[in-house]
Amino acid sequence: MQFQNRLDAGRRLVERLAHYRNHPQAIVLALPRGGVPVGWEVCRVLNIPLDIFVVRKIGVPGHEETAMGAIASGGVRVFNKDVIRTLGIRDEAIAAAAAVAQVELERRETLYRGERFLPDLNGRIVILVDDGMATGASMTAAVQAIKAFNLQRLVVAVPVASPEACALLGQAVDEIVCVDTPENFKAVGWWYQDFSQTSDDEVRMYLNPSHGCVLGVETMADSC
């Protein structure tokens, strides 16, 4: 199955999430940047709030598109020991790559959230959405960080994933929805006709309530 773009992927994905339509405790947390248009389409159809959960891939030095781990909001770090061992990546190189990822994560948190905090997730049904999963490192980091909250239910939902990533995450959450799990996976972008990069401006546009979704808003004033 090939998706036209991320919005089309969101429309296919939401068909598998119809049981959460209008649910008062449900919220979509999209992983920026590519997961945001997918998550926006999901929340628009389900009529539930949209917010983001920032996760940053830690790339292999010299081959940054290959993940050796990920870092998430709250300081959670997840590493793929098999990748690190196979490629012989030294500790100092791992630390340097993680530091670069941390700087970008903090930049995105500030840019996308401004003075908004992550809304209170205790007792909520959280649906984590991304545009796809290859190794599952980014989503694993998100799942581990989100589990710090006392959730009612944790759902991972993606349009496409490697069978290995879908199986791995399926053991860690209450429900996993993978529209397609092709055996010959290759890469997430392989399953999209248009996989152009989602820009920071696009992320901010989708998070603007005027664009059609209710935002899970909690400001600095609200938290005082």
Looking at the predicted structure, is the pLDDT value of residue 125 above 70? yes
Looking at the predicted structure, is the pLDDT value of residue 224 above 70? no
Domains located in the chain, CATH noted: 6-54+114-223 (3.40.50.2020)
pLDDT of residue 219: 47
Looking at the predicted structure, is the pLDDT value of residue 12 above 90? yes
State mean pLDDT over 184-212. Answer: 92
If one compares 171 and 56, the residue with the highest pLDDT of the two is 171
pLDDT of residue 217: 58
State mean pLDDT over 47-54. Answer: 94
Q: What is the pLDDT of residues 133-160, one digit of tens each?
A: 998 988 998 998 888 889 999 999 999 9
**Which H, E and C letters describe the chain, residue by residue?**
CCECCHHHHHHHHHHHHHHHCCCCCEEEEECCCCHHHHHHHHHHHHCCCEEECCEEEEEECCEEEEEEEEEECCCEEEECHHHHHHHCCCHHHHHHHHHHHHHHHHHHHHHHHCCEECCCCCCCEEEEECCCECCCHHHHHHHHHHCCCCCCEEEEEEEEECHHHHHHHHCCCCEEEEEECCCCCCCHHHHECCCCCCCHHHHHHHCCHHHCCCECCEEHHHHC
